[in-house]
Amino acid sequence: MRTLYLRKDDSNSTRKILIDMAYLVSHKAIRLPKYYFEDDLYLPYKRKSQTEVEKFLLTKNNILSEDENFYYFKFPFKAEEVVNVDD
């Protein structure tokens, strides 16, 4: 499986945060350290039937669970639907 990144758009650039791929593959969920969480983090995706890239926002409403160090978010896509960093 290829490496996937969350993104955060700033005024001058786009910051990328590496997703824990081992956790994603085994649990079908995104595990994000709490210190990386901030508003407007998103995962860009495009379904096969769509022509435009959409953003899956990681918000407090999307948290499946949390523990002392991590937030866990659902991953409602196939890996192929997530847009590459280079795109």
Render pLDDT for 20-75 as a digit per residue (tens, 0 to 9): 999 999 999 999 999 999 999 999 998 877 788 889 999 999 899 999 999 999 99
* Backbone phi, psi, residue 35, to 5°: -70, -15
Site of tokens 């758009």: 9
- Token reading at 85: 């960093």
Distances (CA, A) of 47 to 26, 69, 79: 22, 32, 11
- Token reading at 65: 């669970």
59/37 Cα distance (integer angstroms): 9
For 2-20, the pLDDT digits (tens) are 789 999 988 888 889 999 9
| pTM across the whole model | 0.84
Which pLDDT belongs to residue 84? 77
- Confidence band, pLDDT 50/70/90 cuts, at residue 76: confident
